[in-house]
Structure 1
């Protein structure tokens, strides 16, 4: 499932921006299909422009019936009546989505006999101070089994000991959910930490859900700003 909202505070209509001859959302859809990992790939959107674009390209799309504040809610509505076990959320602004990373989040469920894991997501090491301190970059800290402890727009952990060689991880907004966890998310109200940070993954933690983080070396390019689009154009070429 690829949630796709037309409006965006930092870069309006970013998903319909041209990326080497096709809109960003089409490039992302094609990348997800190309992995060959999924039974079906859908774009879930509130926009008739995005919906019609995907259909015109021969893809699958679902129009949201309600207004939604986040991608998880949008996907939950779309899969309510679907007979599925695991749903993967690929962000619409990630046209460089790769097979290896997606396979990693799916694989954690194969060995989860006790069904301890509610959802899985990706993290990648970051070292540049600008990115570590950028509030648009969501950071994650994990326990010794790589279960998420917390997500924040602030640098976490705080490097009080400057010689401790602190490792920072960026959270990549790709998730694999058990359907049960996703449906729970839809009915549970937002609590204070999620409201403060504006990070939907925190809601799962606040209600006791377990998020298994999978490290990837593929950083990719998330298109949040016009500058990101310029980087994507250069990378595509």
Structure 2
């Protein structure tokens, strides 16, 4: 795509289930550094960590990365990404920004690259990714967010895209056919990100506790790229042990 892209990883120490999560050690490197390394490997542009605390910034800079301190009281990762981008790039050199969560230390760099593909259509404001659900238990698990869209046929790379109609914790759509596990990374056009963070919380957003519904309620277009794997998200001590196992040298 023609957009000039930057990756921004929001990170904060506050976590009820895993305190100081971004600094959790994974074979000698903090988790946030592991995520930064994966984002760098994606090769789509500079990688910036948007930090709520100086300790995270110090860890990133010690590894050779770029970090920007943001207000720790910002309400969401999206707000943190927008604030960091304004500070780092006030001239607007980057017209697309990829938001990668800071708790995905084993994410495949190909998944990060895939999220940019839908932005090749100028009508798309925001892009995200999803993978087909293969575990039957995930179909009814409210912690697994479902992306509702009509996917195109997969290409040789296992990537397709479709326009998002809805995101939900419910089992949807009903009836026979695949369901898709939404993966919470996003690519925004710069103007779309600024519009999004300026919007008030949406009615459906608050009901489902899904931030992306704010954009759909406001008439913004989100397209979904289909990928083959769901990255491990680290939310609890057991997830951290899984990440250590996956990344064992």
TM-score (norm 1): 0.90
Flag the 1:105–1:56 CA change in 2: closer, same or farther, 3 A: same
* Superposition pairs of residues 119-198 of structure 1, within 5 angstroms: 119-143=126-150, 146-159=162-175, 164=176, 166-198=177-209
Query: Quick one: distance in 2 between partners of 1:66 and 1:13?
Result: 14
Flag the 1:207–1:92 CA change in 2: closer, same or farther, 3 A: same
Query: Quick one: distance in 1 between partners of 2:230 and 2:93?
Result: 32
Task: Name the stretch that deviates more: 206-215 or 195-204.
Answer: 195-204
Flag the 1:69–1:218 CA change in 2: closer, same or farther, 3 A: same
Please name the residue that 2:58 is paired with: 52
Runs of 4+ off more than 6 Å: none
SS across alignment from 1:121: strand
Which of 224, 227, 234 matches 1:216?
227
Please name the residue that 1:74 is paired with: 80
Quote the offset at 1:144 in angstroms: 5.4
Task: Name the stretch that deviates more: 129-138 or 46-55.
Answer: 129-138
Please name the residue that 1:116 is paired with: 123
Flag structure 1 segments of 5+ consecutive residues without an equivalent. Answer: none
Please, what is the CA RMSD of the aligned residues?
1.6
SS across alignment from 1:147: strand
Query: Quick one: distance in 2 between partners of 1:122 and 1:226?
Result: 26
Please name the residue that 1:63 is paired with: 69
Query: Quick one: distance in 2 between partners of 1:157 and 1:70?
Result: 28
TM-score (norm 2): 0.86
* Residue 17 (structure 1) aligned with residue 17 (structure 2): no
Quote the offset at 1:147 in angstroms: 0.8
Flag structure 2 segments of 5+ consecutive residues without an equivalent. Answer: 1-7, 153-161
Task: Name the stretch that deviates more: 7-16 or 219-228.
Answer: 7-16
8 A contact 1:73–1:185 mirrored in 2: no
